[in-house]
A and B are shown apart, each in its own frame.
Chain A
Amino acid sequence: MKRNRRIYNKKGFAAGAFMAALGVLNLALDLARGAVEWSGVLLGAALLALGVGGMARSLSRRLAREDRLEQRDERNRLVQLRTGRAALRIAQGVSFALLAGALAAGKLTGYEGFFGIAVGLGLSVSVSLFGEMFAFLYYEHKT
């Protein structure tokens, strides 16, 4: 008797399928080019394993419920918010330090390439600061 399998977590299934496809593509490209390296094989195998695992979880009602619960869990959400906040602060700080370093190096050596790097980093810092400001205004209004 044919039994239809139901997908309980469509997002999880799609993410798993995407990762598995990336893993297969990575391995296939390495084989096609004839340049198989351990790092590429490991990456492909890891992506494939994670993808298949994710797809399998989304086909199990119990595991899909566990995943849903983990996603909705209020402490997990707080941890994610704090993690994102800390990551943004670190990225901004590092970008700003690199920007200052590039400007100083450009000034000391006279090499114009450093100023190009500084412009790119300045753009990145500005986007993150403006993004943070607009996000603040949005949530200040919405909350």
Chain B
Amino acid sequence: MKNRVREFRRAAGLTQQQLAERVRVSARTIISIEKEQYSPSLMLAYRIARVFGVSVEALCCLAENMEQEDARYEAEQENL
């Protein structure tokens, strides 16, 4: 799932390790989230969003991700 964690982290001048310590997860989890290999839980997304002072919606690009998910769903329905 697309997200803006790396963008906000760099703007805040934090390292991945520093962000990980702030939100109480391993640095590997932050790396996976930034690579968009892992989608954080709602609580972790909220913790990260609070560190950067942004909304979860903005952090996780929820509107954009929902549009993509809907498009995939529609395509799957058409192929059935």
Interface residues of A (CB under 8 A from B): 69-70, 72-76, 78
Q: Does B18 belong to the interface (CB within 8 Å)?
A: no
Q: What would 5 A/B residue contacts be, using CB atoms closer than 8 Å? A: A69-B25, A73-B25, A74-B29, A74-B44, A76-B26
Q: What's the Cα separation between A74 and B32 when bound, in Å?
A: 12
Across-interface contacts of A78 in B (CB, < 8 A): 38
Q: Does B22 belong to the interface (CB within 8 Å)?
A: no
- Closest Cβ of chain B: how far from A104's Cβ, in Å? 40
Q: What's the Cα separation between A70 and B21 when bound, in Å?
A: 12
- Closest Cβ of chain A: how far from B60's Cβ, in Å? 15
Q: Does B41 belong to the interface (CB within 8 Å)?
A: yes
Q: What's the Cα separation between A75 and B26 when bound, in Å?
A: 9
Inter-subunit contact A73/B26 (CB<8 Å)? yes
- In the complex, the chain B residue whose C-beta lies closest to that of A70 is B26
Contacting A at CB under 8 A, from B3-46, are: 24-26, 28-29, 32, 38, 40-41, 44
Across-interface contacts of B32 in A (CB, < 8 A): 75
Most B-side CB within 10 Å, residue of A70, A73, A76:
A73
- In the complex, the chain A residue whose C-beta lies closest to that of B43 is A74
Most B-side CB within 10 Å, residue of A70, A72, A75, A78:
A75
Q: What's the Cα separation between A69 and B21 when bound, in Å?
A: 9
Across-interface contacts of A76 in B (CB, < 8 A): 26, 28-29
Across-interface contacts of B38 in A (CB, < 8 A): 75, 78
Across-interface contacts of B41 in A (CB, < 8 A): 74
Across-interface contacts of A72 in B (CB, < 8 A): 24
Q: What's the Cα separation between A75 and B39 when bound, in Å?
A: 9
Q: What's the Cα separation between A75 and B29 when bound, in Å?
A: 6
20 new A-B pairs (CB below 8 Å) besides A75-B29, A76-B29?
A69-B24, A69-B25, A69-B26, A70-B26, A72-B24, A73-B25, A73-B26, A73-B28, A73-B29, A74-B29, A74-B40, A74-B41, A74-B44, A75-B25, A75-B28, A75-B32, A75-B38, A76-B26, A76-B28, A78-B38
